[in-house]
Amino acid sequence: MKTVFANSAWVNAAERLILRGGGWRSVRLRVRYGLIVHPAQGPVLVDTGYTAEALTGERRGRMLRLYGALLKPKLNAAEQVLPVLKHFGLSPNDIRTVIVTHFHADHISGLSLFPKARFVASDAAWARVKARTPRQNWRHGVFTELFPADFDARLDGLSSRPHVEARDGVPGGADLFGDGSVIAVDLPGHADGQFGLLFTGLERPLLYAVDVQWLLTALTEKRTPGFPATLIAEDAASIEPTSAMLRRFIAAGGEVMLCHDPAPAAYDLALSDPEAT
């Protein structure tokens, strides 16, 4: 099974906002998404990263426009999802599954590009999205105009997947493909329904921990940012317990990868534009 991650965009943030004790220098964060080529399931996307739909799309509401103006993401043209698929000889119609780790804009903005895909996500979190008002969803960082109109009909909820128990320092979760190769691990704290992906078949087990932290240093050195970063967390009290679980996984020999950490990772593609270096 092949697994790679690409960087859809860059976002600048002051270090002290994402690392406790950090300075005012600007840190250039990646916005990763993944591609799995599974022997039975075929090509599977892990989120979509940022796409133009979130930044310049005509369907954007007032709050999504404000969100883009505040964060100012810069799209990485070479590693946008469609060019990356083309790099591997794939088209949008080849993608029959998109795993949606959570519902923030930098993870779902390209879902409408994949009309034949089923979506694997937290059905419990989606039920809460449907029950909220637009204002309540904005508070949770969710912009519903980014979902395909038929998202509900194409959703395959995590609750329907068989559960794998934790063992020997390796967390358990939902078995996404029924063969134990990719496990969806619950990661509460950052976003409603957020889960990461545990890849078990590698020489060193890899846990893609999405947005538990923005920087790997914040995780490994226990430098979780405080106020005001915690204002945007779904459940700030769960961030440290979730981080502690990841540190135990690392101590047991596992590897953790984050969505936004700026350092190149072993599973990253190398198609970035020259400004990435």
The pLDDT score that the predictor gives to residue 227 is 79
pLDDT value of position 276: 42
276/260: higher pLDDT: 260
Q: Is the pLDDT of residue 212 over 80?
A: yes
pLDDT in tens, 18-28: 999 999 999 99
Residue scoring higher pLDDT (273 or 59):
59
Question: 67-120, pLDDT tens digit by residue?
Answer: 999 999 999 999 999 999 999 999 999 999 999 999 999 999 999 999 999 999
Confidence band for 273, pLDDT divided at 50, 70 and 90:
low
As a whole-number percent, the residues of the chain with pLDDT over 90 amount to 92
pLDDT in tens, 149-159: 999 999 999 99
Report residue 146's pLDDT band, with 50, 70 and 90 as the boundaries: very high
- Residue 169's pLDDT is 82
In this prediction, what percent of the chain has a pLDDT beyond 70? 98
Instruction: Compute the distance between CA of residue 230 and CA of residue 165 in angstroms, rounded to an integer.
Output: 30
Domains of the chain with bracketed CATH: 2-264 (3.60.15.10)
- pLDDT, mean of residues 122-139: 96
Kindly tell me if the per-residue pLDDT of 274 is higher than 50.
no
Give the span between the Cα atoms of 134 and 59, in whole angstroms: 15
Using the predicted structure, report yes or no on whether residue 5 has a pLDDT greater than 70. Answer: yes
Quick one: tokens of 67?
């969100």
Tell me the average pLDDT of the chain. Answer: 95
pLDDT reading at 275 higher than 60? no
Residue 271: pLDDT band with limits 50, 70, 90: confident
pLDDT at residue 277, rounded to an integer:
38
The DSSP string of the chain is: -EEEEEEEEEEEEEHHHHSTT--S-EEEEEEEEEEEEETTTEEEEE-----HHHHT-TT--HHHHHHHHHH--EE-GGGSHHHHHHHTT--GGG--EEE-S--SHHHHTTGGG-TT-EEEE-HHHHHHHHHS-HHHHHHTT--GGGS-TTTGGGEEEGGGSPEE--BTTB--EEESSSSSSEEEEE--SSSTT-EEEEE-SSSS-EEE-TTS-SSHHHHHTT----TTGGGG-S-GGGHHHHHHHHHHHHHTT-EEE-SS--S--TTB-S---GGG-
Could you read off the pLDDT of 109-125 as tens digits, one per residue?
999 999 999 999 999 99
Which whole number is the average pLDDT over 180-209?
96
